[in-house]
Amino acid sequence: GESVGLHLPTLSVQEGDNSIINCAYSNSASDYFIWYKQESGKGPQFIIDIRSNMDKRQGQRVTVLLNKTVKHLSLQIAATQPGDSAVYFCAEPKAIFGGATNKLIFGTGTLLAVQP
Amino acid sequence: NAGVTQTPKFRVLKTGQSMTLLCAQDMNHEYMYWYRQDPGMGLRLIHYSVGEGTTAKGEVPDGYNVSRLKKQNFLLGLESAAPSQTSVYFCASSIGLGDTQYFGPGTRLTVL
């Protein structure tokens, strides 16, 4: 079936290094992706999104790259800080119930651990 | 602008008790959602609303009821709590269909 998933369950980086979190998807018709950050005991927090008409989008210290050819997207975090430690999910809205609403399909998640 | 807020943050219930979880958003969003998050299960949609006065069942609606009397509020009720409803509940809202969903901080519910 269709899915949005992540390659690596955990990623450990040194403070100040750049982090790259990967995500694969299976539906070539997917046209919108969202990255969320979830800290322990908190709700998913929107980071950045990208639509399929773009290959790259930048935010504050974050960049999302979309490769539609291989159905892969990545989240790059520059100069990773201890506050970046969290689980990161890529997500895709999927129409359900005949398009009456969308359900967010989340990947398994990658735990980013920033070492001081 | 507080975004999406949820009350309470934590709650412990005994089997058979009832309770209401409150979600509020100040972004004037039309769509609101209730999810539950369980280990290894991801987020599952319980109920949703496409506007004030409307509600609809999601993927796992049994045992829950909802109401959207005001555009900014979405209430999730458990009439007779069961241990299987032990979970973390998240509310979310979006401007419209297919738009980014913004989440509240969650309610951690334990049913004994």
Across the interface, whether the CB atoms of A102 and B97 are under 8 A apart is answered yes
Question: How far does the CA of residue B39 sit from the closest CA of chain A (Å)?
Answer: 10
Are the beta carbons of B43 and A42 separated by less than 8 Å?
A: no
CB of A88 within 8 A of CB of A36?
Answer: yes
pLDDT tens, residue by residue, A23-32: 988 888 888 9
* Closest alpha carbon to B101 in B25, B2, B32: B32
Q: What angle do CA B1, B6, B10 make, to 5 degrees?
A: 140
Chain A residues with CB under 8 Å of B35 CB are 104
Contacts of B34 in chain A (CB under 8 A): none
Predicted pLDDT at A13: 96
- In whole angstroms, what is the distance from residue B31 CA to residue B56 CA? 11
pLDDT digits (tens, 9 = 90+) for A72-116: 999 999 999 999 999 998 998 887 777 777 777 887 789 999 998
Q: Closest partner residue to B43 among A41, A100, A104, by Cβ?
A: A104
- Residue A101 and residue B103: Cβ atoms within 8 Å? no
- Residue A12 contacts residue A113 (beta carbons within 8 Å): yes
Higher-scoring residue by pLDDT: B108, B99:
B108
Q: What percent of chain A has pLDDT over 90?
A: 63
Q: Do A43 and B50 touch (CB under 8 A)?
A: no
Structure confidence by residue, pLDDT tens digits, A3-58:
455 444 899 999 999 999 999 888 888 889 999 999 988 899 999 999 999 999 99
Question: Does the distance separating the beta carbons of A97 and B98 come in below 8 Å?
Answer: no
Determine the Cα–Cα distance for residues A40 and A32; give it in Å rounded to an integer. Answer: 26
Tokens 């001081």 belong to residue: A116
